[in-house]
Amino acid sequence: MALTTGLASSKSQFHLNANSPKPSRFHHQKPTFSLLPTVRASSSRSSARTTTANNPPSPGKWLVDSWKAKTAHQLPEYPDPNELESILKTLESFPPIVFAGEARTLEDRLAQAAMGNAFLLQGGDCAESFKEFNANNIRDTFRVILQMSVVLMFGGQMPVIKVGRMAGQFAKPRSDPFEEKNGVKLPSYRGDNVNGDAFDEKVRIPDPHRMIRAYTQSVSTLNLLRAFATGGYAAMQRVSHWNLDFTEHSEQGDRYILLPIFSAELRAFFDVHDQEGSYPGGVHLEMTGQNVTECVGGARTITYDDLSSRYHTHCDPRLNASQSLELAFNIAERLRKRRLSSLRSLGVGAM
């Protein structure tokens, strides 16, 4: 789990924003949503570590091929450059998943978070996978993000920008290009759009065709998210009912118990901003809507002995749905205290 004030991330795969012109009336309005995905190809026109364009762009000027003038790390070593080139040309012919207007909208709303007028909630899988791709998994993660956003909205009394690590969260950087087991050394797993996670020589060879599958899966994921966001599934009344049901059936009632390191990190995050007079712009979590057992703690008291029962992540451990929502209540409480403190400093009565 990570708590961060960083408002721009290469792992931001879709954007769902409940927008309101005035925070004081925010909880009375119906949420509206926009979606912003990006597919991370993790490839290049060459397997070389440094790629230079024929005509390097001017310093500070962004162009579509500006990346070619940069030093590239973490590139897969594809065995057939011609096959890679063919796949990249195919991808270039596909329609975009996101449009410039959507990107500019997200940029504007992130600026609001940087100024303390909104709060960013970013979360999702550490790494999406091909074999766990199904409608239920997408729905469950979307649902818990919605639930968390409503909790944070009421705590902070401000818009919540929702960014999901979905619809393109495949490629993973590695600290070592190789993995060794029992004397066998193979290329490291770099995400399902590069190679497979099974410790097998054939599976670990980077395959550019996986990028095509990643694209189609991202399109399907985003289409389903759009349907959920606009078809009534994300209605405020429905989400509020889910949260009420959660609090009524939690084993600890309204007590939310997280592993001490989570609580300490959360407390330090807000304390630093309070001391420096800056804004806690948002949080970034590795989480899922599935009932996994990858992190200890929480109201359901997952212990170290429980981890092996449902440890399904392809990379880093994730908070499950219950733990994610519990954390949202803790964050909301800090946002509420910060808001009330600001009001008192301005001589305004509590709201």
Is residue 315 a known part of a binding site?
A: no
| Ordered alpha helix ranges (H), 250-348 | 260-276, 321-345
**Cα–Cα distance for residue pair 331/261, rounded to 1 Å:** 14
**Cα–Cα distance for residue pair 238/130, rounded to 1 Å:** 30
Alpha-carbon distance values, 219 to 33, 98, 199 (Å): 17, 10, 29
**Cα–Cα distance for residue pair 167/138, rounded to 1 Å:** 9
Identity of residue 224: L
Give the H/E segment covering residue 247: helix 236-249
Would you state the structure tokens that stand for residue 228, as one six-digit string? 């959920």
**217 Rama class: left (phi>0) / alpha (psi -120 to 50) / beta:** alpha
Identity of residue 208: P
Coil, helix or strand at residue 310: coil
**Cα–Cα distance for residue pair 165/52, rounded to 1 Å:** 30
Decide the pairing of beta strands 282-286 and 119-124. parallel
Cα angle 257, 335, 15 (rounded to 5 degrees) comes to 95
Are the C-beta atoms of 301 and 123 separated by less than 8 Å? no
Would you state the structure tokens that stand for residue 242, as one six-digit string? 């889910």
**Burial profile 135-161: b = 16 or more Cβ within 10 angstroms, e = fewer:** eebbbbbbbbbbbbbbbbbbbbbbbbb
Q: What is the DSSP letter of 77?
A: -
Is residue 126 a known part of a binding site?
A: yes
Annotated binding residues for phosphoenolpyruvate, as ranges?
A: 126, 165
Residues making up the binding site: 126, 165
